[in-house]
Structure 1
Amino acid sequence: MRSRHVSQVIAVPVARVYDFAADPDNLPRWAAGLARSTVTRRGDLLVADSPMGEVTVRFVERNDFGILDHDVTLPNGVVVTNPIRVLAHPDGAEVVFTLRQLDMSDEQFEQDAAMVADDLARLRDLVEQPA
């Protein structure tokens, strides 16, 4: 199994990136690979309509370390853990998503990496907009 770190530098402070990305209401705006429409809450679970079908998402609690790790339960019941960090960077912040190949083909893994890169670029574009 391979892993790949997909990252995006964002020219705003870490706290602004983290606050935006940690807000479940913003997920459909930037995380198209995870949520295509409004996210609903069931207790501490988030329910989203994803490209794979309905998924549930459980994020770690908000924290001061920039950690946005989350478990995604796929429609088939498989749980995928997605490590994601918002780190300080000389130009502001850097978001790093660790993608794991698991049971994907090499082609699917490359497609997934491209989708994550697109999502992170969309996140950058949104949070770099003037407030």
Structure 2
Amino acid sequence: MANYGVWMLEASNITVSGGQSLSGFAQGAGSNLMGETIRLETNDWLETYLRDSGSDTRFDDNDDQRLDGSQTIDGTVYGDGTKVEAEYRVTLRDHATGETWDVLGYNVSNSSPAFGTIEGLAFVGPPGCNRFAGWGR
């Protein structure tokens, strides 16, 4: 079994224009975010700890990754073994610099439907997402 960390920015630290939210009920596709602006309000990154079957350390959709220990994500405590997955992938662009980042919709799969909530955005990049430390407001 593989154990690893995924860094994410919790949904309460993110604003989406047009009255939208990170969550959407289009089979977790993120289509509700098309044409909207996503604003990162803080740099308060949270490392979540996961375990996955075999040697797999890829945070993915429809995979068997689970929380490794009880963890608080966006103000809610989730128990050890709660299933999590990456629901969608979108690219964010800083209008001031033109820099882009790929992010994954971080879903704790205990809602109904299971893909119905996004608790934050996981950034695709190096461990700790150090390159994002100065970006935000």
Structure 2 length as normaliser, TM-score? 0.30
Q: Which has the higher contact order (CA 8 A, sep 6+)?
A: 1
- Normalized per residue, the structure richer in helix is 1
Structure 1 length as normaliser, TM-score? 0.31
